[in-house]
Structure 1
Amino acid sequence: MGLIGQIFGMGGAAKQIGEAVGGVAEVIVGNRAERDAAAAAQIAGAVSQFEGEFASAGALWFDRFVNGLNRLPRPMLALGTLGLFAYAMAEPAGFSTRMQGLGLVPEPLWWLLGAIVSFYFGARELHHQRTRTAVTLARAATAAVKSADPAPPATALAMPLLAPETKPAVTEARAEDPDFNAAVEEWRRLGA
């Protein structure tokens, strides 16, 4: 503001007003550098965790055998169903006898079989969906960390980003809510 600001006496006041507005905006919006540093630290922590989870533990023969057994039910059910069609065409009388025998199975037992099969395949699909998501997130996190300009030292990642006496607002719980405001939630938490 220079000479004109000094003439009108607004140099210091305008600077203080600007700093106050900047401080209020930072409370509401947050500091982008701190958010980016926290995100980088979180990504680096997730990548190191994924590295530990996906590291080969030197599987023994028993582990490989059990993994092989775990892979058998789906192909066996699929091939068994196709085998039933072949059996029905090859020997219709025997197939009819077997199907009449299945008709004598009580309905609660069918419900139990359906629950077991759906829990098995549902849990298996959920496990694989989580694994695919975790691997995709790990690859994205690794790419993000590698593409960052300067890699922060490992000690900087372990240090807290805020002063120890301050507690950041909990934003993870409702961060996807469009009406969520971290500053207002922190203000409510402080009882103001």
Structure 2
Amino acid sequence: MGLIERVLTVVFGGARNIVADTAEVFRENTEAGAGRQAEFKKQVVTQYGQEFHSNQRGWFDRVMDAVNRLPRPAMALGTLALFVSAMTDPIWFAERMQGIALVPEPLWWLLGAIVSFYFGARHQAKGQEFQRSVAVTMARAPQVVENITALRKLRAGSPGVADTGPDAKLALAAFTPGENPALDDWHKSRG
């Protein structure tokens, strides 16, 4: 018995596990890696929350946001209006298109660049706003998890949910039989 004990002590050590220490040289400790990853994610969410915390927008920002929303509907409705005008008054439509045919090509390129930059900038601003809202939502996640855990403890099948605690009157009332017509009928049928 002493020989086996000495061999196991040499392999596994008194307070250390040589096999585990050796294995960690070749493969990461999964539990420690998960802990580091969780801490990293927590720091990222905290940083996002601090960076995008200011949700207070002034009247000027709200007005500019409303103005920025006008070009897309205006272009879509204008295009539909051109189709309607081409069907209702083809001569009027043809006159307008002859005027557009006189627009030089560099001006078309400039218009294309302006529209592209407008929609690109709008897409980037909305993307950053979306990331801000995701960061705020992720910052609330720990509280939601705590609330769900607390709610699950209140289920009827949870251990200790009906515990009366230190209230002696409540404990006594729980064991005192009360009126139960169905149980009385059952007792009578049993006999």
Whether TM-score is above 0.5 comes out as yes
When structure 1 is superposed on structure 2, of 59-68 and 113-122 the one drifting more is 113-122
Which AA in structure 1 matches 2:9? Answer: G
AA aligned opposite 1:67: D
Per-residue displacement from partner, 1:23-80 (whole Å, max 9, x unpaired)?
Answer: 24324432334333333333333333333415422x2221211111111111111111
Residue pair 1:87, 1:95 contacting (<8 A) in 2 also: yes
CA contact (8 A) 1:43 1:145 kept: no
Q: 1:95 aligns with which of 85, 93, 98?
A: 93
* Shift in CA distance, 23/51, structure 1 to aligned 2, threshold 3 Å: same
Residue 39 of structure 2: aligned partner? 41
Partner AA of 1:50 in structure 2: Y
Residues 1:56 and 2:55 are matched in the alignment: yes
Q: State how many pairs are aligned.
A: 143
Is 48-57 or 75-84 further displaced after alignment? Answer: 48-57
Segments of structure 1 that go 5 or more residues without pairing to the other structure are 149-192
User: Of residues 8, 20, 23 in structure 2, which corresponds to 1:11?
Assistant: 8
Change (3 A) 1:73 1:33: same
Aligned to 2:27: 29
Is residue 45–residue 138 contact of structure 2 (8 Å, CA) maintained in 1?
no
The runs of at least 4 consecutive aligned structure 1 residues that moved more than 4 Å come to none
Which whole-Å CA distance do the structure 2 matches of 1:25 and 1:146 have between them?
A: 38
Mapped to 2, the partners of 1:145 and 1:20 lie a distance apart of 40
Higher relative contact order (CA 8 A, sep 6+): 1
Alpha-carbon separation, structure 2, partners of 1:87 and 1:51: 51
Correspondences of 1:167-186 after superposition (within 5 Å): none
Report the Cα distance in structure 2 between the residues aligned to 1:112 and 1:21, rounded to whole angstroms: 69
Equivalent positions of 1:104-119 (< 5 A) are 104-119=102-117
TM-score for the superposition, normalised by structure 1: 0.58
Question: Does the CA-based 8 Å contact 2:85-2:93 persist in structure 1?
Answer: yes
- Unaligned regions of 5+ residues in structure 2, if any? 147-191
In the TM superposition, 1:55-94 aligns within 5 A as: 55-57=54-56, 59-94=57-92
